[in-house]
């Protein structure tokens, strides 16, 4: 118990507090202050008061201080809290309420508020498709953002891919879009085309890093920006893709160490 602020209630004060506490029609904060004073008057320590009343030691200290230095009512009441000054006085507030509730003057009963400025509707965004090509090891070979998802768009992707790689592959794995079949008949007649279920999971999984970056960047503002981003992002990511054909536990461990070093010292997250 704090000796400096010792609580000694008179008989009348003690009876008043007991009657108020037993009545149960008091605010919670005021009721806790009454219980603090009664417990302190009974000789209970601050730790015991905090455990029984479920309050903090600072609240107990302030309640005792206000009781000893000011009065019982000051200890039970709320302290004025700091805050911004009131914009209207009591008289001005009453005048404002009376004015709002009174009848409008003559000639002003049919006033209409002006409508706010109409905002122009948002520009309709055109859907774009990201076409991606990977090799058997997971390296991104080409990416292109196109408007359509048809035979013309598929032919553009495969033509660019053949021009960059210098020759046709042994086989090509795609999803079940029919445009790929129409294009392979035209420009890849001797290439085996596979599009069975789950064969293109590697290509579908390669979209995950792009989706993560899209959420972190809160979407892409324009499709040219997306094209520039994926070109740079995939080129950097290809440096950290270990070859799947000759992967061992040791090479995977070395790859993880190099990736962690680049993340920490160069600030590049892959």
With tokens 């596979």, the residue in question is: 194
Longest alpha-carbon distance in the chain: 107
Rounded (5°) CA angle 91-97-99: 100
Residue 140 CB burial class (10 angstroms; 0-12, 13-18, ≥19):
buried
Residue 121 — very low, low, confident or very high, per pLDDT cuts 50/70/90? Answer: low
Helix axes 28-41, 46-53, angle to 10 degrees: 150
For the whole model, what pTM was predicted?
A: 0.43
pLDDT at 246 over 70: no
Other beta carbons less than 10 A from residue 95's beta carbon? 12
Section 130-156 average pLDDT:
86
Residue 82 — very low, low, confident or very high, per pLDDT cuts 50/70/90? Answer: low
> What is the spatial distance between Cα 185 and Cα 196, in angstroms, rounded to a whole number?
17
Number of H helices, E strands in the chain: 12, 4
């Amino acid at each position: 118990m704090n000796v400096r602020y010792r609580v000694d209630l008179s008989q009348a004060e003690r009876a008043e507090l007991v009657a108020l506490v037993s009545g149960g029609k008091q605010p919670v904060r005021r009721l806790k202050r009454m219980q603090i004073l009664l417990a302190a008057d009974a000789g209970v320590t601050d730790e015991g008061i905090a455990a029984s009343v479920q309050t903090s030691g600072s609240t107990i200290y302030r309640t005792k201080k206000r009781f000893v230095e000011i009065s019982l009512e000051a200890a039970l009441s709320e302290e004025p809290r700091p805050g911004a000054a009131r914009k209207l006085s009591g008289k001005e507030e009453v005048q404002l309420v009376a004015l709002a509730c009174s009848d409008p003057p003559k000639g002003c009963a049919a006033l209409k508020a002006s409508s706010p400025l109409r905002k122009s509707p948002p520009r309709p965004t055109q859907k774009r498709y990201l076409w991606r090509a990977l090799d058997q090891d997971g390296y991104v070979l080409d990416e292109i953002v196109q408007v359509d998802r048809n035979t013309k768009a598929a032919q553009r992707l495969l033509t660019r891919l053949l021009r960059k790689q210098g020759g046709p592959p042994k086989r090509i794995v795609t999803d079940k879009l029919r445009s790929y079949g129409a294009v392979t008949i035209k420009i890849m007649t001797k290439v085996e085309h596979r599009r069975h279920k789950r064969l293109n999971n590697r290509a579908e999984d390669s979209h995950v890093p792009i989706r993560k970056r899209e959420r972190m960047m809160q979407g892409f503002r324009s499709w040219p920006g997306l094209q520039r981003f994926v070109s740079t992002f995939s080129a950097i990511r290809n440096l950290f893709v270990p070859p799947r054909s000759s992967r061992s536990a040791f090479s995977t461990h070395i790859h993880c160490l190099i990736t962690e070093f680049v993340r920490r010292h160069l600030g590049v997250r892959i």
